[in-house]
Amino acid sequence: MALLSEPFKILQAPKETMILYEVDNLHRQVFADGRKFPGSCEFPARPGYSIGRWEGDTFVVETRGINEETPIDGMGHPRREAMHVTERFQRRDFGHLDTTITWDDPKHYSRTFTVKIGYSLVADNDIFEMYCNENEKDRSHMMVPK
């Protein structure tokens, strides 16, 4: 759900998918067991709360409950806790994953916006720890004021 160029790994099980990101040691749980979103997210989190389902050969992930401190991108574009993100993951072939990400935040943006990103498989690689304290410190000058 991020616009990152750093490596990530997707681990899929029948009722849950995990996405491990190299950047900031971040991980996401995508529940695919048929559950619905909770009535409210008492503890908004950086990656939010994600629910997935299959539509043919496309894995559709909806995410809500993202805390307001998490920017959409490296430039610091803000989001509201009420933002709803829909990601569509589809394998074009064995070595390529196509994603379409749509952000919907009517309280903060005048319309939805969508990006498409293609990824190439790098087989047999590890996810390493990568956390840059300098980026956290320096990112404050790029943040859009609330």
Structural domain contains residue 102: yes
Residue 12 lies in a domain: yes
Structure tokens of 23?
């950047």
pTM assigned to the model: 0.79
pLDDT tens-place string over residues 75-131: 777 777 778 899 999 999 999 999 999 999 888 888 998 999 999 888 877 777 765
Phi, psi of 120 (to 5 degrees): -110, 140
Q: Yes or no: say if 87 and 1 are a contact pair by the CB < 8 Å rule.
A: yes
Domain that holds residue 134: 8-142
DSSP string, 20-58: EESBTT-EEEEE-SS----SS-SS-BSS-EEEEEEETTE
Number of domains in the chain: 1
Residue 2, in any domain of the structure: no
